[in-house]
Amino acid sequence: MTTETLESVRLETGPEPQSCILWLHGLGADGHDFVPVAKTLQLPFAVRHLFPHAPVRPVTVNGGMAMRAWYDIVSPDLHHRVDRAGIRRSQALVSALIDHQVEGGIPSERIVLVGFSQGGVIALEAGVRYGGLAGVAALSTYVALADEFPPATALSPPVLMMHGTEDPIVPCPLAQDGCRLLRRLGYRVEWHTFPLAHSLCAEEIAVLRRWLLERLTPA
């Protein structure tokens, strides 16, 4: 258990929200990055959006410059010397953030993780290990620690993976490998591609909105 906490931007769309979406940004961004996307969704029920800031750390591939990063990247080849310790540390920080929401009254089955790029790696690692979440959306991302990814259980969340076919940062075939791995391990994975680079588009956000409505609309 970690005693560290992640500073987060918080947005609530109505009083007494009973659902929570945690948004994990990409390398070098911060929690403010996905606030406009969350506002665009306009979900028809009260939601607490949390946008945690990743810790600041040196990033080898960027010349050792310190920036917000969920883990270190040592090479453009994302499978080269993967920062396992950094990933596990951020996984624990995000799990603690989920714990805090559950302790505050939002049950795990009303919580979704959404992550982009590096944030998607952490969303997958934390989301599949935290029992009973409503879902994990992994955008423009990959499975960093494929040999350690756990098999699905009865409590495993559904997973949404979306990727740009022209992505030069996280190549689409790498993401497809992750999708195939998750399916082999028994996860329910919905997969979409879009003709774009390492970014989001309006069509992708529309799919995300539909998927979130399926996961979180009150009965």
- The residues assigned a catalytic role are 117, 167, 198
Which single residue is written with the structure tokens 């979406």?
21
At 213, list the tokens. 């409505």
Compute the distance between CA of residue 157 and CA of residue 114 in angstroms, rounded to an integer. Answer: 12
Q: 6 near 52, Cβ under 8 Å?
A: yes
Strands of the chain, DSSP E: 8-12, 19-24, 47-52, 56-59, 65-68, 111-116, 135-139, 159-164, 189-194
Q: 60 near 72, Cβ under 8 Å?
A: yes
Q: Which long-range contacts (CB under 8 A, 24 or more apart) does 205-211 make?
A: 205/37, 205/40, 205/41, 207/160, 207/162, 208/41, 208/114, 208/137, 208/139, 208/160, 208/162, 209/41, 209/43, 211/135, 211/137, 211/160
Q: 90 near 113, Cβ under 8 Å?
A: no
Which single residue is written with the structure tokens 């659902």?
19
